Amino acid sequence: MRILIKNIKTLVQVDDNDRSRVCGAEMKNLPSINDAWLAIDDGLIADHGKMDDFPGISDWTKLTVIDATDKLVFPGWCDSHTHIVYADSRESEFVDRLNGLSYEQIAQRGGGILNSAQRLRNASEEELIQSALVRLDEVMKQGTCAVEIKSGYGLSLESELKMLRVIKKLKELSPLTIKATFLGAHAVPAEYKGDKARYISLIIDKMLPAIAEEKLAEYCDVFCENNYFTKEESIKILEAGLKHGLKPKVHAEQLSNSGGVEAGVYCNAISVDHLEYVEEKEIELIKNSITMPTILPGAQFFLQLPHPPVRKMINAGLPVAIASDYNPGSSPSGNMNLMIALSCIQYKMTPEEAINAATINTAYAMDLSTTHGSIAIGKKANVFITKEIPGYSFLPYSFGSNLIETVIINGTIIKQ
Ligand code: NIG
Ligand code: FE
């Protein structure tokens, strides 16, 4: 299948596959071509250029031509942090919070992550696959082409394996590119209450070897937070994961300043995520590291947490990535267009910075920057075409509107 998109008003985020991530002041640059064409062949980006230099069509075999007059073309969003596999929604906790309870208070009553764990344990693999496929289809139509999915609602050997097997099945069934993360250290399950050390032993001695044996995950994540896992415990678990070939990621500084960034940078984590309580010392630590600081504006907004210090991080020369954290407790949305809008409106990121953060920088945070995250010859043909809009800043400006008209995944046009 070949596709030619012509008369593109702006082809956004074009490069030569020479950037793996974008840092600091560079994030203000969003390389784009006005009045452009884009050719797709065999699932890959074949060529692109300005309409003035368009060579014409010599071979019409199996060619679909799309006229994108007044429309923009973007690389698909990469969402490097989600918990998209879960059994049930948790709107009753949302109402409890509206009535004055905090996220922490709900968790202490057995709600929160433990509530999701209870429900997931009672759900079949098939039910989990079907509900996750609906969510993946929804985010795909909102322009997402690659998704990282975490376990962490199982919290027993059996149920963590069940979740990760579901994610493995989703990799086969969904057209999206999917990466799997083991998050056994999401919370201490009820049956281990008061004996966290024994649960950590279960993670290290039983869960990790079984996951490695079945090759069920690429990453190992830890919720480093008061009442969850300490910095020291996080390092211990991440190092055990590394021994099994799982790269570290960390839920860091979401509800308090608890050492998550320190643990992550120490273990060469590919990303540290959330970051609402990041201070100067964490910014210094991330400098000169390979770690991608990732903000999750959906969770910050939904839980009404303090803003992460995004401007300070970018001014210090750090890269920043934006992911959705799609999950039933703290971010029941996987809409990356909304995440970008929230980042601009709330944290004063420029549209260029936010688009870089949700494409090339999130691709980096899931080891996909050679194949995803920009329009480059040879990369996967994962792009979306907007409706008629004045320019890319219109995307975060008109938050809440659906401005995506056509999605192409691996060179196949997806029906809206
Ligand atoms: O990323 N912070 C920890 N984990 C999730 C929330 C999960 C839940 O509440 O179910 C998060 O926000
Ligand atoms: Fe999360």
CATH code of the domain containing 15: 2.30.40.10
Pocket flag, ligand 1, residue 251 (CB < 6 Å): yes
As a whole number, the mean pLDDT across the chain is: 97
Q: How far apart are CA 7 and CA 38, in angstroms?
A: 9
Cα–Cα–Cα angle for 39, 410, 217, nearest 5°?
Answer: 145
Taken in order 406, 174, 395, 32, the sign of the CA dihedral is negative
- Does position 196 have pLDDT exceeding 90, yes or no? yes
Best of 85, 322, 330, 333 to mutate for ligand 1, by most ligand atoms within 8 A of CB? Answer: 330
- Does position 415 have pLDDT exceeding 80, yes or no? no
* Mean pLDDT value of segment 66-86: 98
Query: Cβ(278)–Cβ(316) under 8 Å?
Result: no
Give residue 367's pLDDT: 98
Model pLDDT for residues 1-41, shown as the tens digit of each residue = 899 999 999 999 999 999 999 999 999 999 999 999 999 99
Confidence class for position 342, pLDDT limits 50, 70, 90? very high
Give residue 416's pLDDT: 72
Q: Tell me which ligand sits closest to the C-alpha of residue 255.
A: 1
Confidence class for position 43, pLDDT limits 50, 70, 90? very high
Question: Do 332 and 380 fall into the same domain?
Answer: no
Beta strand ranges found along 42-143 (DSSP E): 44-50, 63-67, 71-75, 77-79
Q: What is the DSSP string of 126-162?
A: HHHHHHHHHHHHHHHHTTEEEEEEE--S--SHHHHHH
CATH of the domain at 251: 3.20.20.140
Distance 37 CA to ligand 2 centre (A): 38
Question: Do 37 and 6 fall into the same domain?
Answer: yes
Question: Do 206 and 286 fall into the same domain?
Answer: yes
Distance 323 CA to ligand 2 centre (A): 10
Pocket flag, ligand 1, residue 362 (CB < 6 Å): no
Question: Do 163 and 127 fall into the same domain?
Answer: yes
Distance 260 CA to ligand 2 centre (A): 13
Q: Which residues of 281-309 are buried (b: 16+ CB within 10 A; e: fewer)?
A: ebbebbeebebbbbbbbbbbbbbebebbb
Question: Do 318 and 358 fall into the same domain?
Answer: yes
Question: Do 187 and 297 fall into the same domain?
Answer: yes
Pocket flag, ligand 1, residue 299 (CB < 6 Å): yes
Alpha carbon separation from 253 to 107, 112, 272 (Å, rounded):
17, 18, 9
Question: Do 134 and 201 fall into the same domain?
Answer: yes
Give residue 80's pLDDT: 99
Sequence-distant (6+) residues with CB within 8 A of 101 are none
Cα–Cα–Cα angle for 297, 148, 196, nearest 5°?
Answer: 85
Q: How far apart are CA 145 and CA 136, in angstroms?
A: 9
Distance 223 CA to ligand 1 centre (A): 8
Tell me the residue range of the domain where 328 lies.
78-364
Question: Do 184 and 291 fall into the same domain?
Answer: yes
- Does position 131 have pLDDT exceeding 80, yes or no? yes
Query: Cβ(166)–Cβ(85) under 8 Å?
Result: yes
Give residue 194's pLDDT: 95
Question: Do 137 and 215 fall into the same domain?
Answer: yes
Pocket flag, ligand 1, residue 116 (CB < 6 Å): yes
Quick one: what percent of the chain has pLDDT higher than 70?
A: 100
Q: Residue 258 has which token pair?
A: 């608890």
- Does position 91 have pLDDT exceeding 90, yes or no? yes
Give residue 350's pLDDT: 98
Residue 52 CB neighbours (<10 A) = 7
Give residue 284's pLDDT: 98
Give residue 1's pLDDT: 85
Q: How far apart are CA 45 and CA 56, in angstroms?
A: 17
Model pLDDT for residues 258-299, shown as the tens digit of each residue = 999 999 999 999 999 999 999 999 999 999 899 999 999 999
Q: Tell me which ligand sits closest to the C-alpha of residue 89.
A: 1
Atom of ligand 1 nearest to the CA of 113: 10
Q: How many independent structural domains does the chain possess?
A: 2
Question: Do 32 and 94 fall into the same domain?
Answer: no
Question: Do 225 and 155 fall into the same domain?
Answer: yes
Model pLDDT for residues 216-246, shown as the tens digit of each residue = 999 999 999 999 999 999 999 999 999 999 9
* Mean pLDDT value of segment 95-99: 97
Question: Do 394 and 346 fall into the same domain?
Answer: no
